[in-house]
Amino acid sequence: MANNLKELTLCLKKICFQAVRKHFAAVGTEAVLGLPTPLIKDILPYLTVCQLDELQPALNQRGVSTHSEWIGVLQDMCGPNHVTDFDTEEEAKHEVMRMLFTLVFYGLTSPFVKRNITNLNTPSFLWAAAKCIKHFLLTTPVESLTAERRPLLNLLEKRIWSVGVSQNIDISKRTTQSALYVLHRLLDHGVAKKVVVHVQCPIVLAWILHGRGSQYVNPDFKDLLNSKKASCISQAASASADGPSCGSGLGTRASEDQVTPCKRSKLDSAEQSRKANFTLDPQALCKTFSPRDGPSAGACPWGRIDCLDIRQCGSDSLKVLNSALPTFFCLRSLTLHSFLTFRDSDVLSLARALKQLSESSRSSLADLSISVLPCTRLVKVLLDASPNLMSLHTEIQTLMWGPRLLPHRPRTAESDMSAELLPLEKLDIKVAELQTDLSFVTSVLRRCPHFTSLHLAGMRLPTGSSLSQLFTTLSESNPLLRSLNLEDLKLSDCLPEILNLLRDCKLEELRFNDCRLVECWSNKEESLQRLVAALKAVPSLHTLSLAQNRLAKNVCVLAELFSGPSPSSVKRLDISSNFIQPAELLEFAKRLRTHRPPHRLNLDLRVNPGDRDPDTWNAALMKLRPFCVLLVKGWSSTDTMADHISNM
């Protein structure tokens, strides 16, 4: 009888909660907030994301968090095994809103959206979600921002920090004006300072750079901008060999190059008339779409671009950029990525433009990322061309076919090669080649007295060589090192040098991922104990990753990080992909329970074979949860290849 009454009560509560969700506007926020706190917590999982967002500030004042509800929405959207590593409710909410805004605004579908379409496909949801996003992708249906969703553009103008161009903008079509107008509003009237170009379209890149930082004006684009003739537009738009919408002849040299006129069929008079009023001028676009913001109300502002990211940077786009770079004084961050390996000549041309920029006292370029370089020696070329960089990220992939005819490289003075790179603090290099000379990295490190962060991945040394010299150089030349991230390297013969580095360092993050760390150790447990003892003696260390090192049963030694009177300060420990069996994790949990960390530990246990003994694995997790935030992702032991790779 009592059980039946309890079930009936729960059923009635559920019906009431669903009614509140459905008639929330009529019920009102005050009525919900007037409920007892336990009842409010019960009702939260039934509310929509808009209702949660509306109630959250008032709930926080009462000490009620919506964090678990936002995490629940994420898991509902992405699946129960999705890693939701968001420590605060604001982080979790912003991730939910970011994902849902993308799905709803662009008309994409997902099971979650289909189930909740009535609550999501509304102006109020888009308005709420837009307050949580910082990056906006310029693609269809962006035209709606100049029509029925125009109020949303006003909000985005105040919120968006980064704009992405994800499709070719055909400047020969009048519909292009909508996209250019939105781009103008976000870049010039708004707060956006970062542009991400996902397409190879030099003429659009020239439009973006025009008037927004660089003092250089592409002559061909200037003619196009000022022209009232449709033929001019068509000639410039068809100059590219890749297609009629992306001109490739722009900016090959700073001032003297001209586009050769292209022959095209004569347009009929109707077509000529249709395009007669076509404009690319941002000032005129404002007058066309919003007269109040146009020249009649005063000249539009010119925004500046602090961060430029070109994801498909071919030779033609690089020519446009190189022409603008020498006077691009406001640029702080530059990212260039090509799906094909850059040619040596392209990289050397970029280096010359960077050198011209660096020679100006007004240059602010601090961060450079470029991939994919054809050889390691070009890393030094770029650093020498831009000695004021604070960080460099690059990927290197040596061509494996055919002879390489390297262009002539101007000789660099020996004094320049040995000069200190005072500002350089971060170096991130991913290498994909059969053999790499380690000296190219150590020579750079010796020139960087203020160096703080190093990430190396994939480096293969000649037979008989060792990475031990890397640790020796870091110990001797880089006392300010804070973050060391080594990935897909062989470190099993470097233990003495690693221990020496740890004796006197200020490391905050240490990552040895897929480094075959214990592979050659004759006594794995004893050697790992020596490493743990050295790590405990680094008081600044808060993040440690030993993922993919085949620790297996030796994982138990890591519990000693927190033993004794001076436990480690590590707050994040990644031991994923180490083929840790359930019994081994249980033993690790028992030891860690004996030597409890002084703070809550973020523990990454993903991709370990917990399903081989689920009961033991779950028992281990139960012991860890009181003092650990666990990241756990399912493992299928029926996948024999995964087993084989993890146990090699």
- Domain boundary (130, 160, 188) is at 130
Task: Write down the pLDDT at residue 284.
Answer: 83
What average pLDDT score do residues 439-451 get? 92
In a domain? residue 231: yes
In a domain? residue 438: no
Task: Write down the pLDDT at residue 246.
Answer: 42
In a domain? residue 450: no
Task: Write down the pLDDT at residue 237.
Answer: 38
User: Do residues 18 and 75 share a domain?
Assistant: yes
What average pLDDT score do residues 106-130 get? 90
What average pLDDT score do residues 162-171 get? 84
Asked whether the predicted pLDDT for residue 143 surpasses 70, the reply is: yes
Report pLDDT digits (tens) over 333-375. 999 999 889 999 999 999 999 999 999 989 999 999 999 999 8
User: Do residues 116 and 164 share a domain?
Assistant: no
User: Do residues 113 and 189 share a domain?
Assistant: no
User: Do residues 159 and 299 share a domain?
Assistant: yes
Task: Write down the pLDDT at residue 555.
Answer: 95
Asked whether the predicted pLDDT for residue 247 surpasses 50, the reply is: no
Say if CB 501 and CB 537 are below 8 A apart.
no
**Average pLDDT over the chain, rounded to whole?**
83
Residue with the larger pLDDT of the pair 487 and 275: 487
- Domain boundary (113, 130, 147) is at 130
Beta bridge partners of 630: 603
Asked whether the predicted pLDDT for residue 236 surpasses 70, the reply is: no
Q: Which domain holds residue 196?
A: 134-260+274-331
Measured at the alpha carbon of residue 195, what is the angle toward residues 292 and 169, in degrees to the nearest 5?
75
In a domain? residue 362: no
Task: Write down the pLDDT at residue 402.
Answer: 40
User: Do residues 146 and 85 share a domain?
Assistant: no
In a domain? residue 178: yes
Task: Write down the pLDDT at residue 418.
Answer: 57
CATH number at residue 613: 3.80.10.10
User: Do residues 78 and 208 share a domain?
Assistant: no
Task: Please tell me the distance from the alpha carbon of residue 382 to that of residue 391, in angstroms, as a whole number.
Answer: 12
User: Do residues 125 and 185 share a domain?
Assistant: no
How much of the chain, in percent, has pLDDT values that exceed 70?
82
Asked whether the predicted pLDDT for residue 537 surpasses 50, the reply is: yes
User: Do residues 63 and 202 share a domain?
Assistant: no
Domain count, the chain: 3
**How does strand 543-545 pair with strand 426-432?**
unpaired
- Domain boundary (111, 130, 149) is at 130
User: Do residues 181 and 313 share a domain?
Assistant: yes
- Which of 85-99, 491-505, 540-554, 603-617 is predicted with the least confidence, judged by mean pLDDT? 85-99
User: Do residues 15 and 156 share a domain?
Assistant: no
Task: Write down the pLDDT at residue 238.
Answer: 40
User: Do residues 635 and 520 share a domain?
Assistant: yes
If you average pLDDT over each of 195-204, 409-418, 426-435, 466-475, which comes out highest?
466-475
Say if CB 81 and CB 75 are below 8 A apart.
no
Residue with the larger pLDDT of the pair 3 and 98: 98
**Direct distance between the N- and C-terminal alpha carbons of the chain, in angstroms, rounded to an integer:** 59
Task: Write down the pLDDT at residue 413.
Answer: 39
Task: Write down the pLDDT at residue 196.
Answer: 96
In a domain? residue 290: yes
In a domain? residue 423: no
Task: Write down the pLDDT at residue 469.
Answer: 95
- Which of 59-68, 169-178, 302-311, 389-398 is predicted with the least confidence, judged by mean pLDDT? 169-178
Task: Write down the pLDDT at residue 598.
Answer: 92
How much of the chain, in percent, has pLDDT values that exceed 90?
54
**pLDDT level of residue 263 (50, 70, 90 thresholds):** very low
Is the bond into 565 cis (omega within 30 degrees of 0)?
Answer: no
**pLDDT level of residue 332 (50, 70, 90 thresholds):** very high
User: Do residues 118 and 192 share a domain?
Assistant: no
Global pTM value: 0.82
Residue 406: C-alpha distances to residues 348, 377, 409 (Å): 11, 11, 8
Judging by beta carbons within 10 Å of its beta carbon (0-12, 13-18, 19+), is residue 78 exposed, middle or buried? middle
In a domain? residue 646: yes
**How does strand 391-397 pair with strand 367-373?**
parallel
If you average pLDDT over each of 117-121, 250-254, 424-428, which comes out highest?
424-428
